[in-house]
Each structure stands twice: as C-alpha cells, then as structure tokens.
Chains A and B, each alone.
Chain A
C-alpha cells in the first residue's frame, strides 16, 4: 500500500513538474522537483531503490519530451545511485539530503546541458550561466525549503516514510 502511495506521489511530482512548476519559472529557469523526489527516495530506500525511482520517473519525462529517449532515465538513475550511496550505512539527515541533491543536480543537469543545449555552436559559457547554474541553484533553494519544512521525511537522524 505504501509503495502504491509513493508511486502515486512520484507520478504527481512528474505532473507538477510539467504543469504548475512553470508558474514559478524565473527567466525560463525552473526548479527540478523530480530530482528532489528521486534524491529523497534514494536516501530512504538505498541506492538500488534510487536507481529504480530515477530510471522510472526519468523514462516518463523522456516520453513526455520531444527529445532524446533515455536521457532523462540515465540522468536520474545516476542521481538516484549517487544519493543512495551517500545515504548508505547511515541514517540520512538534512545534511546528507543537501549534499546528495547538490551532487545529483550538478551531474544530471550537466547531462541535460551536454545533450540539450547547442553549446558546440555557441560555447559553454552562455548556457552555463543562463540555464545550468541558475537551474541547479533554484533546485537547491527549493530542496532546502522543503527539507526544513515539517513535510520533510528526514528529522534529527530518524527515518520516516519508508
């Protein structure tokens, strides 16, 4: 039952990402709710769970995009794996979440930058400054707000919502 609820939450996050998140976009830069969800699930479920969540939700986003199939699943699988390894053998807390989110965002958004932007023609600096760094920063800020909120699953070294 809990797995089904988590699955529905995952689907809701994807739907929110393509609909309402556009309302909070600043200069076309928006936070990545999906990576926040994948990182949180990976810390709670471990690296294998993180890879599965990342692959599944990434695949769904790939299907919804007109771009290269497999790019989202690759990026979010890696994010889930890294986050799961950071949380391995310890009870994950807020610092683990933040570090995992930072590293995962840098890696996943880096892949999107590499495959999605015409950087070979225009150079790396412009997409890096206009899309990549603001996107990572916006995601970190939203992740930070969520992690200090009462809805976050990590509290003083205790696991919740497994």
Chain B
C-alpha cells in the first residue's frame, strides 16, 4: 500500500520537480550569462548548429536569384554612369588632398560573411553568420553592410559568429549628427527605428540629417552611415532632444554582411 502511494506521489511530483529544476537552472544561466565559461559553451553549441543551418541558408539565396539578377543588372547600369562621375571626383580629390596635405584615411579591412540564421528567439535580434575566429573575427568587432551599420559581433566560434543587431535593446552605438556635429548614443525604440540619446536640446538638428558613427565607443569605426533623422522633439522640461532615426539598413532583409576587422579604424574626419 505504502509502495503504491509512494509511486503515485512520485508521478504527481515528478513534473513539478522537473519544472523547479528547469526554472532554477534557467535563472542561474541568466545570472551567469556573460561569464567566459558560458561564452565558450555558447560558441561550441553555435558551431554544431551552424553545420546543419549552413545548407538550409542557401534556400533563400536560390529563391531570390532571379530578382537579385535583375536588381544587379539595374545597379550595374547605374554604377557605370557613377564610375565616370567618381573618377572625375577622385582626380579632383587627389589634387586637393595633395594641396592641403591631408592625412589619408586608412581603408577598412573587411571580412565578408553570409547570414546563415536569424532571430532565434522572438524579441532577441541577432544573426548567425558563416565566418568566425578562423577568419579573424572576435567579440565586439563592428558589422556593416553596403548600406550602413548593422551591429557588432557578440560571440565568435571558429567558423561562425553571432551578431547583435542595432535593433537589440542591449546594443548602442556612439554616433554623430553629420551636419550639427552633435554626439549621441543609439538605442532601439521598438520596431525598425532607432532613437538617439544624449543630444542637448539646443543643438540645431534638422530632419533628414545623416547620422554616422563617431568611434567614441571604441567599437564602431568612425564615419559609417547609420541612418537619417526622421523626427525630433523638444520638451521644455527635458535637457535632451528626442531624436528618432530611420536606419539605412533594412534589418529584416540582410543576407550578407562585412565584419570590420581589428586595427583598421580610420581617423575621425
């Protein structure tokens, strides 16, 4: 009789014990989320999953080949025209540079990488890319696209890395407004937009003004386009402006990225 009661009790209690352990372990993981051991464990797990994810990541590429081909043809035609203009500007620029004895900005050393996975959890904005420490990637390197800033490397495995997007609540970039030269820090405002914090309300910020990285955070190189100002609001009781920007990059349609490798930061303009 006692044995049957014990078995029933165990059957009833078992799920609760399992849940209790799972909750405790999860909370423990949350508390130790940023330790080196945890980082290493995450990197290894990512390495295993990327082996399976890599082949599947080709499917969107294959599906988009036709539209991509058309887009590239159009872009090619446009670029041919731009090349002529650029060559003229380059020769003029060289001439002026020599005249003014300006220091040449160092070129960024970029590592191209394909996106093999996106947003594993709802509300956590990140990318899994197909390049890692074997290609010179490490934590906190800036990640950009041909349009502008995307985010930074959160963790790098040997052949894959996790990228935290600017649209993650834990990521902020030091930025500068291109015209009024005011400095601020980006923060995600939900959806696809970003806010700039820390710009005093006396700054003459204009709508449409470009926002670029300032490199003051020591993570993102200077001069990378982040977006354009689409809304500003001055509140009398607030010392700072409320600035909303539209990012240059469409974060939901990123297929390839470039990681800015160490030692290649340009000088501030």
Q: Decide whether A and B assemble into one complex.
A: yes
A64 contacts B128, C-beta separation under 8 Å: yes
User: Is B41 in contact with chain A by the CB < 8 A criterion?
Assistant: yes
Q: Give residues 40-73 of A contacting B (CB, 8 Å).
A: 46-48, 50-52, 54-55, 58-73
In whole Å, how far is A126's beta carbon from the nearest beta carbon of chain B? 5
Which chain A residue has the least Cβ–Cβ distance from B35? A69
Inter-chain contact A55/B28, CB cutoff 8 Å: no
- State in angstroms the CA–CA spacing of A126 and B89 once bound together: 46
In the complex, identify which listed stretch (A91-99, A114-122, A146-154) lies at the interface while the others stay far away.
Answer: A114-122
Give Cα distance in the complex from A130 to B190, angstroms.
9
Indicate if the CB atoms of B117 and A64 lie closer than 8 Å. yes
Q: Is the CB of B28 within 8 A of A22?
A: no
8 A Cβ contacts from A58-114 to B: 58-75, 77-78, 81, 84-85, 109, 112-113
- Chain A contacts of B116 at CB under 8 A? 19
User: Which residues of A are found within 8 Å of B206, using beta-carbon distances?
Assistant: none
**Are A70 and B33 closer than 8 Å at their CB atoms?**
yes
Chain A residues lying within 8 Å of B155, measured Cβ to Cβ, are 66
Measured between alpha carbons, how far is A55 from B21 in the docked complex, in Å? 10
Q: Which residues of A are found within 8 Å of B251, using beta-carbon distances?
A: 28
B121-A47 in contact (CB<8A): no
Interface residues of B in 39-53 (CB under 8 A from A): 41-42, 45-46, 49, 52-53
Q: Are A77 and B122 in contact (CB under 8 A)?
A: no
> CB within 8 A of A109: which of B22, B23, B122?
B122
Q: Does A140 sit within 8 A of B, measured CB to CB?
A: no
Taking a contact as CB atoms under 8 Å apart, the answer to whether B19 and A77 are in contact is yes
Measured in the bound complex, the distance between the Cα atoms of B215 and A66 in whole Å is 22
List, in ascending order, chain A residues with CB within 8 A of B191's CB. Answer: 126, 130
Contacts of A22 in B (CB 8 A): 60, 118-119
Given known contacts A19-B56, A48-B15, A64-B46, A122 and B190 CB-to-CB distance under 8 angstroms? yes
Interface bin, chain A:
35 or more
Please tell me if the beta carbons of A19 and B168 are within 8 angstroms of each other in the complex. Answer: no
Q: Evaluate whether A67 and B189 lie within 8 angstroms (CB atoms) in the complex, with A73-B25, A77-B19 already known.
A: no
Task: Name which residue of chain A comes closest to B56, CB basis.
Answer: A19
Interface presence of A16 (CB below 8 A): yes
The answer to whether B22 touches A70, judged by C-beta atoms less than 8 angstroms apart, is: no
Q: Contacting A15 at CB < 8 Å: which of B22, B49, B122? A: B49
Q: Give every chain A residue within 8 A of B123 (Cβ-Cβ).
A: 109, 112-113, 115-117, 127, 131
CB under 8 Å from chain A, chain B span 1-60: 14-15, 18-19, 22-23, 25-33, 38, 41-42, 45-46, 49, 52-53, 56-57, 59-60
Since A47-B15, A65-B120, A122-B189 are in contact, a sample of 20 more A-B pairs with Cβ atoms closer than 8 Å, ordered by chain A residue number, is A15-B49, A15-B56, A19-B57, A19-B60, A28-B192, A30-B119, A60-B45, A63-B42, A63-B49, A66-B126, A66-B155, A66-B164, A70-B27, A74-B26, A112-B122, A112-B123, A121-B187, A121-B195, A131-B122, A135-B122
Which A residues are closer than 8 A to B by beta carbons? 11-12, 14-20, 22-23, 25, 28, 30, 32, 46-48, 50-52, 54-55, 58-75, 77-78, 81, 84-85, 109, 112-113, 115-119, 121-122, 126-127, 130-131, 135
